[in-house]
Amino acid sequence: MNKDQKNEVIELLKGKFSQYNNFYITNTESLTVAQVNHLRKVCFDKNVEMKVAKNTLIKKALESLDNEKYAGVYDALNGVTALMFSDSPKEPALIISTFRKENAKLEKPVLKAAFISDEVYLGDNQLATLVKIKTKNELIGEVIGLLQSPAKRVIAALLEGKKEGGEAAEAPATPDAPEAPAAPAAE
């Protein structure tokens, strides 16, 4: 690879690191070509970009963006490295976990590090933690559910009171509200 090609790869990686707040550094060494292709397909289906690059080029791209911000991941840049870029902080972790379960004899891909919204997770032992991370949409859903819960209980209690008490459970008319006209008598 000549200098121009290396610079091209560094620029491509810089673009990816700038585009995504989350990326995983994995080791896919000893996976067969068929297994790597399957992993790439799964990543593609889940909107996760997978790139393989040399560690020195990855480090140069990170250093040129913000050396201090990414310093925690430099120790993970050894051996064969595949990067997984995602908008979701946990999707790559789910992909890795599922891939391992489907291929019971495999312990690969190995998570070397993950960079999730300015936090660094080092080591494969962090995979279980990363699988449990809540996405922004999951957190919003939980908050909405919590906010709706008291209102649902009040409405359910009112409806239950109406069923048990019949007409007495209805809210009384306010004095300044006009009364509804009486229905005409049937002939």
Residues 33, 86 within the same domain: yes
Domain span including residue 109: 3-133
Residues 126 and 147 in one domain: no
Is 129 part of any domain? yes
98 and 144 in a single domain? The answer is no
H or E segment to which residue 95 belongs: helix 91-102
Please indicate, yes or no, whether residues 38 and 117 belong to a single structural domain of this protein. Answer: yes
Supply the DSSP string of 130-182, one letter for each residue.
Answer: HHTPPPHHHHHHHHHHHHHHHHHHHHHHHHHHHHHHGGGGSPPPPTTSPPPPP
Same domain, 103 and 12: yes
Question: Tens digits of per-residue pLDDT, 48-97?
Answer: 999 999 999 999 999 999 999 999 999 999 999 999 999 999 999 999 99
Give the pLDDT band of residue 135 (cuts 50, 70, 90): confident
Q: What is the pLDDT of residue 169?
A: 45
What pLDDT score does 168 carry?
46
Choice among 61-70, 86-95, 139-148, 166-175 with the minimum mean pLDDT = 166-175
Q: Residue 128: which pLDDT band, with cuts at 50, 70 and 90?
A: very high
Specify whether 95 is located in the same domain as 66: yes
Strand ordering across the sheet containing 22-27: 49-52, 82-86, 22-27, 110-116, 119-122
Looking at the domain assignment, is residue 180 inside a domain? no
The arithmetic mean of pLDDT across residues 139-148, rounded, is 77
Q: Is residue 142 part of a domain?
A: yes
* pLDDT for res 88: 92
Pair (121, 144) in one structural domain: no
Residue 162 CB burial class (10 angstroms; 0-12, 13-18, ≥19): middle
pTM, 2 dp: 0.74
If asked whether residues 84 and 142 sit together in one domain, one would say no
CATH number for the domain harbouring residue 103 = 3.30.70.1730
Count of domains for the chain: 2
Considering the domain architecture, whether residues 38 and 74 belong to the same structural domain is answered as yes
Cα(83)–Cα(183) distance, integer angstroms: 73
Instruction: Check pLDDT > 90 for residue 15.
Output: yes
> Looking at the structure, do residues 32 and 94 belong to the same domain, yes or no?
yes
Q: Is residue 64 part of a domain?
A: yes
Residue that has been written with the tokens 């004095």 in this structure: 175
